[in-house]
């Protein structure tokens, strides 16, 4: 699975858009980009995933650059409840790294009033 | 409510004791797994199962045992608890596991302390 790089922490004002970047410059053509988040003391929560097209669901939008070397998770109107650690994971179908999800250290997002 | 249910939420064990952490899902997911999360270490895969009767080891399987007799349940057994097993344990499931593009559903965790 391709290695990902995320900033360790970010701040965002409540009501503003939170844009969380992820660099995955060694991504292969068959690898998807997944985003999860973990609110303090809770289990990780799946947010969204994509291959090359931008994706949107009720939680967030995922923007993947044309060369697929980076992506951005967008929370359009951040609330205090969005304070969490956000993980960007890149993996392929039939990943040769087995079944483990490599969460890494993620980005700690703090949404402030 | 559909999802992954873990019990107990909290547990304190003495060194050498054994116990079983329970995990159940009602989404008819084929794939289930157990992770542990330690401060500063991220989540690490302990064991996983791709279907009833099939289990395999993850990254950190020592000291743990699993079985999968039904699609719904995937218990994790600590054979002889050690202080190094103090951690937060998460169970996760998905329809197709890593072989598919779907997301994983995680339980709320079991916080285990071994003294």
Question: How far off is chain A from B17, nearest CA to CA, in Å?
Answer: 25
Q: Any chain A CB within 8 A of the CB of B33?
A: yes
Q: What is the pLDDT of residue A29?
A: 85
Q: Any chain A CB within 8 A of the CB of B109?
A: yes
- Helix (H) or strand (E) holding B20, with range, is strand B19-25
Question: How far off is chain A from B24, nearest CA to CA, in Å?
Answer: 15
CA separation (Å) from B65 to A48, A88, B17, B84? 32, 30, 14, 16
Contact at CB, B105 and A100, closer than 8 angstroms: no
Name the nearest CA neighbour of B1 among B24, B34, B22.
B24
pLDDT band at A17 (very low <50, low <70, confident <90, very high): very high
What's the pLDDT tens digit per position in A68-99? 999 999 999 999 999 999 999 988 766 555 56
pLDDT band at B41 (very low <50, low <70, confident <90, very high): confident
């Amino acid at each position: 699975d391709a290695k990902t790089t995320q900033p360790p922490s970010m701040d965002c004002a409540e009501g503003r858009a939170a844009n969380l970047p992820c660099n995955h410059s060694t991504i292969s053509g068959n690898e998807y980009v997944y985003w999860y988040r973990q609110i303090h003391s809770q289990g990780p929560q799946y947010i969204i995933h994509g291959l090359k097209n931008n994706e949107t669901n009720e939680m967030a939008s995922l923007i993947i650059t044309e060369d697929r070397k980076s992506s951005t998770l967008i929370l359009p109107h951040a609330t205090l409840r969005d304070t969490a650690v956000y993980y960007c994971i890149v993996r392929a179908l039939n990943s040769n790294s087995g079944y483990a999800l490599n969460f890494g250290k993620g980005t700690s997002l703090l949404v402030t009033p | 409510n559909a999802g992954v249910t873990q019990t107990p939420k909290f547990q304190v064990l003495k060194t050498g004791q054994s116990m079983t952490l329970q995990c159940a899902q009602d989404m008819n997911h084929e794939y289930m797994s157990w992770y542990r999360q330690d401060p500063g270490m991220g989540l690490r895969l302990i064991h996983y199962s791709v279907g009833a009767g099939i289990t395999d080891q993850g990254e950190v399987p020592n000291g743990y045992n699993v079985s999968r007799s039904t699609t719904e349940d995937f218990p994790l057994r600590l054979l002889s608890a050690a202080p190094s097993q103090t951690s937060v344990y998460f169970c996760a499931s998905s329809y197709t596991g890593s072989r598919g593009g779907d997301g994983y559903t995680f339980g709320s965790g079991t916080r285990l302390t071994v003294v």
